[in-house]
Structure 1
Amino acid sequence: MAYSSSAPTRAEAVAKLSSQVAAIEPLLKRDGVSVDSRRLAVHADWQKQKQVGCRAEQNYQLSVTDPEVLAELAGALIAAEPARLDGPTWSLSDDTEPRKAAQRAAVADARARAVGYADALGRELGGLLRISDAEVGGALPRSGYGGAEAAVAAPAGIRSGQDVKRLNLEPQDVTVTTRCVTNWKLAD
Structure 2
Amino acid sequence: MTKGTGKVERTADRAEVQVNFETVGATRNEAVELLNERVASVEPVLGRPGVEVRSRQLSVHDNWDGQQRAGSRASQQYVVRTDDLSQLDALLSALVAAEPTWLNGPQWQLARDAEAIREAQREAVADARRRAEGYAEALGARLGTLQRLSDGDGEVWAAEAAGGRALAAYGGAVGAPPQMDQFNLEAQQIVVTVRCTATWILLD
Q: TM-score, normalised by structure 1?
A: 0.68
Matched, 1:84 2:102: yes
Share of identical aligned residues, percent? 41
Contact 1:123-1:187 within 8 A present in 2 as well: yes
2:173 aligned partner: none
- Report the CA distance between 1:163 and its aligned residue: 1.8
| CA offset digits 1:108-128 (Å, max 9, x no partner) | 233444555667778766634
Residue of 30, 35, 49 corresponding to 1:17? 35
Contact 2:109-2:157 within 8 A present in 1 as well: no
List runs of 5+ in structure 2 lacking aligned partners. Answer: 1-18, 159-175
Count of aligned positions? 167
Whole-Å Cα distance in 2 between the matches of residues 96 and 3 of structure 1?
A: 36
| CA offset digits 1:9-61 (Å, max 9, x no partner) | 33322222111111110111112222122222223444556553432221112
Matched, 1:59 2:77: yes
Matched, 1:174 2:193: no
Q: TM-score, normalised by structure 2?
A: 0.64
Contact 1:35-1:60 within 8 A present in 2 as well: yes
- SS of match in other structure, 2:79: strand
Pairs within 5 Å for 1:133-148: 133-134=152-153, 136=155
Report which of the two has the higher share of strand: 2
- Report the CA distance between 1:4 and its aligned residue: 1.4
Contact 2:58-2:76 within 8 A present in 1 as well: yes
Contact 1:118-1:186 within 8 A present in 2 as well: no
- Report the CA distance between 1:86 and its aligned residue: 1.4
In structure 2, relative to structure 1, the CA distance for the partners of 1:128 and 1:55 (3 Å cut) is farther
Whole-Å Cα distance in 2 between the matches of residues 45 and 111 of structure 1?
A: 62
Contact 1:72-1:162 within 8 A present in 2 as well: no
| Higher RCO by CA contacts (8 Å cutoff, separation 6 or greater) | 2
In structure 2, relative to structure 1, the CA distance for the partners of 1:34 and 1:181 (3 Å cut) is same
In structure 2, relative to structure 1, the CA distance for the partners of 1:117 and 1:44 (3 Å cut) is farther
Contact 1:123-1:186 within 8 A present in 2 as well: no
